[in-house]
Amino acid sequence: MVEDNKHIDDFLESYCKLQSPQYAVMLKGKWGSGKTHYINKLDIVNKKYIYVSLYGVKTNSEILSKILKNDIFQKIDEKIKNEKVIQSISLFKEIVSDKLISNKIISNEVLQMQILESYNDLAKCIFIFDDLERCEAPINKILGFINIFVEHKNSKVIILANEEELDKNNQDYQKIKEKLIGKTFDIVSEVDLAYKHFIDKLDKSDNEIFTKYDVIIKDIYKKSKCNNLRILRQIILDFYRFYNLVLKKYQKVDFIKDFIQIYFILSFEYKNNELDILKMKEDYPWDGTYSNENKETKIETISQKLNSKYTFDIDSSKILTLELWHDILDKSQINTKDIEEAILSSKYYVDENSPNWKRLWHFKKLEDDKLEPLAKDVYKELSKSKLNNIFEVLHVCSTLLYLNSKNLIKYEDDKILDISKKHLDYLYENKKIDSSSYKNKESILSNDVWETLQYVESKNHYFIELRKYLKYIFEKGTQDRINEDRNKIIKFIVYDDDSLYSMFYRNNLDKNLYFNKPILKDINIDNFIEQIKKEKQYKMNCFGLVLKERYIEKVYNKELMSEIDFLNNLNEKLTILQKERENKISGYNLSYFLEDLQKSIKDLQQYIDDTKGINNEI
């Protein structure tokens, strides 16, 4: 046993040898502190243990039922020839299993006394009553029953309890405790024994990682002051799952070592309710920003507290984003693809084959003579518009600005901003900004992370200006696309093209933009009608279906109200055209479309009227 509980070991060894101690021993500790684990490891020879969990127990009979399930009593017929005992036990088992027929009903209390009085070896037994605080019967009643074993049967009794959960102000509890319990000990978690026990339960082929890093993990457990072996076991099992799903294929020792430390530190803090992971984003620039704001206010950040508590530099060992850590620890959600991208983007896997901008992001790993030439290459790539996308431009600008602010390189901030804007212009003009970026522009403009790496200097004035310029690029590109799509819509309507569905129905396709955008309001109706007149046939079935579905649910009608003028004008002009083609197939087809159009006008106008009515009431 570990030294922290050695005095308890010695005392219990002596206690269990007493002929008639006439008192019980209480081992107390918080939930998960290892009370049950400790008692299971006791090794006192030639003693008979009877373990009983009091969890949920309401009656004395339930306690006896659990006692009788012990191996000692299961084999009683081999050891004791007293027919009265055997008959009593058999009858009691029928009672507690609800199999007793009506003419054999007998008082449980009588049966209890028969069993206790008939078993002559009770004085040699050690009764261990666990989970005292979790029983549902009155505590004084349960302790009174346990006292029968101590006072009248000369048994040794050990009670395990989280005394903090008991009502210490209960006078009955205090009174009977003073009479029953002669010694009380606080159990200290025996992490070494428990840790070995936990990992021995895992597949031997997979528990090597826990053996290799056992000193680190146990040290983190102790520094966490968790003192809860159940939480340790939970975290071990969680990491075991994570390791097999993700980490097993990575072999770099420094990476595995640091990842294990971060995983267990964050896990213990989270399990102890000491850490709101996402709040760290507000409190400290977790993924790469190096603002001096907290230093100036002299407020110790969460990361700084953890660094001090665990003597581990979390800041320099960043691997995953806070969002990914939150998914892992709070949701038990392992996004393998995103996690692996983060790992490969981390400092542990950045090498000479990595893109220059990414190597520069990890500038702390560079040797003194490597920074300046690498920064020069990256600056040149930026000025020559050689980067692949808007995110790389943002990263490069942010990193250069930071290095410049620390006098590690010498470039003009306004020049960095200027060439970054020109690079964005180049990407825009050459249509190298993909459609998903336009669709997710709000997220891109507010998110400080790309490829799991955070922009190094997101608070810098020049970087903020670049983001504003990117917003302008997005707005300009979105308007360009709207103008292009208006012409496409006319074409799709006239030729009854199914592509209309993807433009107007909400889905996950990147090309969908208009399920809640009033794009129809600015379509030139005269051009539209002229286009229709050029066709010999015009069904417009798809457009009719789109309009019917567009307004009927009312979910997005607030955003679409401005389309009502377009619908009314279209109805007016197509009604005239339909009358001109009244006895032709084209006129026949138009009549069906007009029915859908008029129904759509009615639905949208009704929503507008209802909205006005509500506003007038207010």
pLDDT at 611: 87
Q: Which residues contact 110 (CB under 8 A, 6 or more apart)?
A: none
**Is residue 174 predicted with pLDDT exceeding 90?**
no
**How far is it, in rounded angstroms, from Cα 482 to Cα 508?**
19
- Counting beta carbons within 10 angstroms of the beta carbon of residue 198, is it exposed (0 to 12), middle (13 to 18) or buried (19 or more)? buried
Question: Residue 457 has which token pair?
Answer: 């200097």
Q: Give me the residues paired with residue 26 across strands.
A: 159, 184
Amino acid at 34: G
**How far is it, in rounded angstroms, from Cα 285 to Cα 457?**
10
pLDDT at 261: 94
Q: Which residues contact 85 (CB under 8 A, 6 or more apart)?
A: 76, 114, 115, 118, 119
pLDDT at 576: 93
Q: Of 19-33, 393-407, 533-547, where does mean pLDDT reach its minimum? A: 533-547
DSSP state at residue 509: -
Q: Taking the C-alpha atoms of 299, 305, 311 and 312 in order, what is their torsion angle to the nearest 10 degrees?
A: -90
pLDDT at 356: 94
Closest CA to 539 of 486, 597, 592, 600: 592
pLDDT at 298: 54
**Is residue 260 predicted with pLDDT exceeding 60?**
yes
**How far is it, in rounded angstroms, from Cα 284 to Cα 286?**
6
Residue 3: pLDDT band with limits 50, 70, 90: low
**Is residue 501 predicted with pLDDT exceeding 80?**
no
Residue 108: pLDDT band with limits 50, 70, 90: low
What percentage of residues in the chain have a pLDDT greater than 90? 34
Closest CA to 264 of 308, 226, 304, 315: 226
**Is residue 141 predicted with pLDDT exceeding 80?**
yes
What percentage of residues in the chain have a pLDDT greater than 70? 82
Main-chain dihedrals φ then ψ at residue 184, nearest 5 degrees:
-130, 135
Better-predicted residue by pLDDT, 142 or 507: 142
Q: Are 305 and 275 in contact (CB under 8 A)?
A: no
- Counting beta carbons within 10 angstroms of the beta carbon of residue 225, is it exposed (0 to 12), middle (13 to 18) or buried (19 or more)? exposed
- Counting beta carbons within 10 angstroms of the beta carbon of residue 440, is it exposed (0 to 12), middle (13 to 18) or buried (19 or more)? middle
Q: Using only the alpha carbons of the chain, give its radius of gyration.
A: 38
Q: Are 159 and 182 in contact (CB under 8 A)?
A: no
Closest CA to 318 of 292, 350, 296: 350
Residue 291: pLDDT band with limits 50, 70, 90: very low
Residue 92: pLDDT band with limits 50, 70, 90: low
In this structure, the strands spanning 449-450 and 453-454 are antiparallel
pLDDT tens for 110-132 read 555 565 556 666 777 889 999 88
As a whole number of Å, the end-to-end CA separation of the chain is: 75
Give the pLDDT mean for 376-394: 96
**How far is it, in rounded angstroms, from Cα 356 to Cα 376?**
10
Q: Of 359-363, 421-425, 522-526, where does mean pLDDT reach its minimum? A: 522-526
pLDDT at 214: 93
Residue 109: pLDDT band with limits 50, 70, 90: low
Q: Taking the C-alpha atoms of 108, 111, 112 and 114 in order, what is their torsion angle to the nearest 10 degrees?
A: 160
| Average pLDDT for the chain | 82
- DSSP 3-state assignment of 51? strand
Number of residues that make up the chain = 618
pLDDT tens for 455-495 read 988 889 999 999 999 999 999 998 888 888 888 888 777 77
**How far is it, in rounded angstroms, from Cα 364 to Cα 592?**
69
Burial 16-40 (b: 16+ CB within 10 A, else e): beeeebebbbbbbbbebbbbbbbbe
**Is residue 94 predicted with pLDDT exceeding 80?**
no
Q: If residue 99 lies in a helix (H) or strand (E), which one and from where to where?
A: none
Amino acid at 191: V
Q: Give me the residues paired with residue 127 across strands.
A: 50, 157
Give the pLDDT mean for 139-154: 86
3-state secondary structure 218-286: HHHHHHHCCCCHHHHHHHHHHHHHHHHHCHHHCCCHHHHHHHHHHHHHHHHHHHCCCCCCCHHHHHCCC
Q: Are 1 and 41 in contact (CB under 8 A)?
A: yes
**How far is it, in rounded angstroms, from Cα 416 to Cα 462?**
8
pLDDT at 1: 41
Report which listed range, 384-398, 493-507, 577-591, is most confident. 384-398
48-53 sheet: strands from edge to edge: 48-53, 125-130, 156-161, 24-28, 181-186
What distance lies between CA 473 and its chain's CA centroid? 35
| Max CA pair span of the chain | 115
**Is residue 44 predicted with pLDDT exceeding 70?**
no
Question: Residue 398 has which token pair?
Answer: 């942010």
pLDDT tens for 389-419 read 999 999 999 999 999 999 999 999 999 999 9
**Is residue 61 predicted with pLDDT exceeding 90?**
no
pTM of the full structure: 0.56
Report which listed range, 48-52, 353-357, 522-526, 569-573, is most confident. 569-573
Residue 266: pLDDT band with limits 50, 70, 90: very high
Better-predicted residue by pLDDT, 499 or 537: 499
Amino acid at 63: I
Main-chain dihedrals φ then ψ at residue 126, nearest 5 degrees:
-115, 110
Q: Which residue reads 């006129």 in tokens?
A: 587
Give the pLDDT mean for 313-321: 75
For 470-501, give the DSSP string. Answer: HHHHHHHHHHHHHHHHHHHHHHHHHTT-THHH
